[in-house]
Structure 1
Amino acid sequence: MMGPVLAACLLIILSTAWISQANEALCKKDGGVCSCNNNKNSVDCSSKRLTAIPSNIPVDTDRLVLQGNKLSSLPGMAFHGLTKLRQLYLSNNQLQALPIGVFDQLVNLTDLRLNRNQLTSLPPRVFDSLTKLTYLSLYNNQLKRVPEGAFDKLTELKTLKLDNNQLRSVPKEAFDNLQNIKDLRLEENPWDCSCRDILYLRNWIREKQGNVSNIEAAECAVGNKAVLDITEKDAASDCVSPNTTTAIPTSTTTPASVIYDDIHEIKVPQENFQKFLGYQEPDHLPTQPQCLMSISGYLGLMMSLMLTSAAILYVFHFLKKA
């Protein structure tokens, strides 16, 4: 009678191993491209030339590093389900826009890095769910505007980096809800000090001077005058603010052929690689590390199925003899 019991136990063990193989193909130790530290719930996929986000990121991930890749866009549901995530690094990519609601489920996020991308605008209310955020970096992008209310929910934010963008002004009350802000970087933007719109920023800087670091470094695009020092006469023009525009790009179109450094990636039909690779964005031919990860996972799956089948036959054999 012990034979069938042992066989059943073997079947359970093999099934568990199969599920584990399917779920952990992301990690380098299982043939994936990312480094995983299970003790700290950390997944590091930095500098892997990824053009898409892996779809099998564990739901209990606390820290996700995707910096230094070739991500040009994000799916709207890229981070859905990662409710335990606290740190998300997307810097040094090629992001041109963010989908509406892309961060909506990251309610525990404290650190978000989007610097060194190609963002020209932000979707409305894109940060509204990030009420625990303390660090937000958007520097070295091409932001021309900040939507009204963009930072209204970020009451815990301590560091905000907006330097090295194309901002000419910010909406009234843009920073009023940043109750805990300690460091705000505004330098290297073409602040238009001839328009009345700049007076809100001037007044805010004057009020927070000495309590918030680096805000005094904001300078006018013309005359090298500090925003802090402009007068009512300087800002006499009633200009049309770029913040009043309603044209907010929420997606981008990837060209049929894109050249990244020495890698040529060719547009392929979506259905060809989606299920096989397990990636959310099958818009490009996968890079070599992605193929290796997929092949390794596929071979592991086939081996697990073979062992499971053998265990099933073993069970039936003992049951038949019994």
Structure 2
Amino acid sequence: MMGPVLAACLLIILSTAWISQANEALCKKDGGVCSCNNNKNSVDCSSKRLTAIPINIPTDTENLKLNYNKLRELEPTAFHGLKELTYLDLNYNELQTLPEGVFDQLVELDELYLQYNDLKSLPSGIFDKLTKLTDLRLFNNKLQSLPEGVFDKLTQLKTLQMTSNQLRSVPEGAFDSLSNLNLLYLRSNPWDCSCKDILYLRDWIDDNKDKVTGAQDAACGDQQSKAVLDITEKDAASDCVSPNTTTAIPTSTTTPASVIYDDIHEIKVPQENFQKFLGYQEPDHLPTQPQCLMSISGYLGLMMSLMLTSAAILYVFHFLKKA
């Protein structure tokens, strides 16, 4: 009897044609994946449990909502062709990283919301093409550091929110190009006020406290006991290792057999192609490609074994009959 995993695999294959037709229904009135307001060039894909971005978003879209989904990663070309986009909302997803160049064609973008994700770092130059951006929200992520010059091209930026991350310092000159900034939230980060690196942030806050709201709330350490603005050179006397420094792993380190065994069973299978033909349904409850292949392979192997066994039995009977 056909196993449940094999049955699921066959069901996936048979549903591919239906999913393809469903993709074509995006923004139509007959129950597409997303809803559209053509008069406002707006596409709302929020709260759809999406694991991949729809591929046929209209190229004249100006307002795109992808918040409250299950996005863990983005294709580098996810937003290519959307050159009219001014508003992009990706908050409340599960993004752990951003591919380089993913926003490069969004030259008209005004607002970018990336809050409430799992971002630990940002690629160099990730915002360089967003020269018209005025509102950037990065709060409630897991950012541990910022690349050099990450905000240098954002000369029109007015609001920058980085509350509730894991930032200990910012690169020298990080905010120097933000001449139009009037709101900067930095609180609830473990700013390391014992390192000299923090002095740039202290001086920048001091120089801009009359025109930029919120930056003066940045406080030292996990306990947030002392304002960054109030630290002295004596407080920040240490030469600290940059958070971007990578510590080499000793070559003599051995890995326990139990860890190796666990790794074998926890190998992550790339889901990009799988998601493309799954459409936008949550795939967690469905078998992965290797599972499908293994199931089909096992099924065919079993059938082959039965055929060979039957042939062997028939041969034996034939031989005995002759004898």
User: Unaligned regions of 5+ residues in structure 1, if any?
Assistant: 1-20, 248-254, 259-266, 288-322
Distance 2:61 2:159 in 1: 23
Distance 1:178 1:189 in 2: 21
Q: Once the two structures are superposed, what CA deviation does each residue of 1:7-66 show, in whole Å capped at 9, x if it has no partner?
A: xxxxxxxxxxxxxx9985112623212110000000001111111110010000000000
Q: Distance in 2 between matches of 1:232 and 1:159?
A: 29
For 2:49, the equivalent position in structure 1 comes to 49
Cα distance in 2 between the residues matched to 1:276 and 1:189: 39
Task: Flag structure 2 segments of 5+ consecutive residues without an equivalent.
Answer: 1-20, 249-264, 287-323
CA contact (8 A) 2:219 2:227 kept: yes
Q: Distance in 1 between matches of 2:184 and 2:112?
A: 15
Q: CA RMSD in A?
A: 2.8
Q: Which residue of 1 aligns with 2:194?
A: 194
1:69 correspondence with 2:77: no
- Aligned 8 A contact 2:97 2:121 in 1: yes
* 2-structure distance, mates of 1:193, 1:67: 35
SS in 1 for 2:232: coil
TM (normalized to structure 1)? 0.71
Cross-structure match for 1:242: 243
1:142 is aligned to 142
Q: Residue 33 of structure 1 aligns with which residue?
A: 33
Partner Cα separation in structure 2 for residue 203 and residue 75 of structure 1: 39
Q: Does 1:133 align with 2:133?
A: yes
The match for 1:274 is 276
* 1:29 match: secondary structure: coil
Matches of residues 202-241 of structure 1 in structure 2 within 5 Å?
202-221=202-221, 224-241=225-242
Supply the distance in 2 between the matched residues of 1:270 and 1:217 (Cα, whole angstroms).
41
Regions of 4+ moved over 2 Å:
21-24, 243-247, 255-258, 267-277, 282-287
CA distance in 1 between counterparts of 2:101 and 2:67 reads: 21
Q: What's the offset of the Cα at 1:246?
A: 11
TM-superposition CA deviations, 1:130-171 (whole Å, max 9, x none): 000000000000000010000000000000001100000000
Task: Please say if residues 155 and 178 of structure 2, whose CA atoms lie closer than 8 Å, have aligned partners that are also in contact.
Answer: yes
More deviation in 67-76 or 24-33? 24-33
> How far apart, CA to CA, are the structure 2 residues paired with 1:127 and 1:269?
26
* CA separation of 1:123 and 1:245: change in aligned 2, threshold 3 A: farther
CA, structure 1 residues 186+223, in 2 after alignment: closer, same or farther (shift >3 Å)? Answer: closer
Question: Could you tell me how far apart the structure 1 residues matched to 2:202 and 2:271 are?
Answer: 52
Which whole-Å deviations, capped at 9, do the CAs of 1:104-126 have from their partners, x for residues lacking one?
00000000000000000000000
3-state SS in 2 of match to 1:201: helix
Q: Which amino acid aligns with 1:226?
A: A
- Deviation larger for 152-161 or 29-38: 29-38
Q: Which amino acid aligns with 1:235?
A: A
Higher relative contact order (CA 8 A, sep 6+): 1
Please identify the structure whose Cα radius of gyration is greater. 2
Q: How far apart, in 2, do the equivalents of 1:36 and 1:246 lie?
A: 49
Change (3 A) 1:246 1:116: farther
Equivalent residue pairs, number: 249
Cα distance in 1 between the residues matched to 2:61 and 2:247: 36
One-letter code of the match for 1:106? Answer: L
Contact 1:170 1:243 in 2 (8 A): no
Cα distance in 2 for partners of 1:119, 1:273 equals 21
Letter of the 2:92 partner, please give it.
N
- Indicate the SS of the match to 2:205: helix
Identity between Structure 1 and Structure 2 (%):
61
Q: Deviations over 1:187-214 (max 9, x none)?
A: 0000000000000000000000111001
Structure 1 residues 276 and 66, CA, compared in 2 at 3 Å: closer, same or farther?
closer
Deviation of 1:273 (Å): 6.5
Mapped contact 1:269–1:283 kept (Cα < 8 A):
no
